[in-house]
Structure 1
Amino acid sequence: MWLTAPFDAELIDRLNRAQAGVVPSPAHPLVCPRARDGRHALAGGYVGTLVAQRRGLVCPSCGHVQAWVPASVLAAAERVSDEPAACAAQRIERMRQGALEDFRALVRDGHLSAQPMVETLEAMAPRPAAREAAPAGAAELALAA
């Protein structure tokens, strides 16, 4: 089965996570067919990684558009792995940070079609746990002690 553009926001997010390898079972991302021409940047650990957008998978370096994706790409990337959850979370966060650096650099260099990947990776950032609210008057009790 094939997934064809235009892609909706949820599919764009899922594809970009798979492309950046920040999924339970990462695989080699889909890359631009012209990735070996010397003009394509290394991003997310691979040269010519395509970025999901509404119109399809887009190459940030040359603008090549691939308007289809095999559904098996997502199925494979999202399948549960045997890796312990804590290890998987650490691996995914390391991959996210590295890929985010790479794709931000592409955007800074004028490759604006990398922006959807930056947005996906930024949205995945771990949020600090909310501290439990201190009971009313706790500060006064601590000072009185």
Structure 2
Amino acid sequence: MWLHAPFDPPLIDQINRMQAGVIPSPIHPLTCPNAKDGQHAFAGGYLGVLVAQRQGLVCPSCGHTQDWLSRTTVACAERESSAAMGNPSQRMEKARQRALDDFARLVREGHPQAQAMVDSLQAAVDRRASRAEAAAVPDHSTALPEPLAA
């Protein structure tokens, strides 16, 4: 029961949000096996967090690529996140912002593999803003009928 790269964009987005702790997940983020070599960055709350990209889970520090992921990992995160997706808690928003800052710093420091995580975390904000904007627009589906001509 494995998912193999290439990963599609919705899965990349979901994995990255799970890895950053932005959606509830009972699973510890997947990290690089080389993370304790002293060369890996601390980002998203962990050392050597892997970033989902089309070609697999990539370490932004050393380029290590894991081209598979357990379906169970994603399924657990889906179950945990389905109830929480409507209104993110302050803790989740703080985790998202910290992770966004950490991974944006990695990109600025010359680790372009971290850009996919930045994109996923920024897209989460954009999606929430779109939903809030849509909720603020009145629903005209119950428009009143036109008055009859006299």
TM bin (shorter chain): 0.7 to 0.9
Q: Under a length normalisation based on structure 2, what TM-score does the superposition of the two structures give?
A: 0.79
> What SS is found at the alignment partner of 1:69?
strand
Residue 42 of structure 1 corresponds to which residue in structure 2? 42
Q: Under a length normalisation based on structure 1, what TM-score does the superposition of the two structures give?
A: 0.81
Residue 127 of structure 1 corresponds to which residue in structure 2? 129
Q: Which has the higher helix share?
A: 2
Corresponding residue pairs, total = 132
Partner amino acid for 2:98?
Answer: G
Paired with 1:107 and 1:101, the residues of 2 have a C-alpha distance of 10
1:66-117 CA-to-partner distances (Å, cap 9, x unmatched) read 0000011111122237x98898522221110010000000000000000000
The runs of 5 or more residues in structure 1 that have no matched partner are 134-145
Superposed counterparts of 1:1-145, under 5 Å:
1-80=1-80, 88-125=88-125, 126-127=128-129, 129-130=132-133
Among all aligned residue pairs of Structure 1 and Structure 2, give the percentage whose two residues are the same amino acid: 58
CA-based RMSD: 2.3
Residue 140 of structure 1 corresponds to which residue in structure 2? none
Deviation at 1:25, TM superposition (A): 2.9
Partner amino acid for 2:129?
Answer: R
Structure 1 residues 109 and 90 mapped into 2: Cα distance closer, same or farther (>3 Å)? same
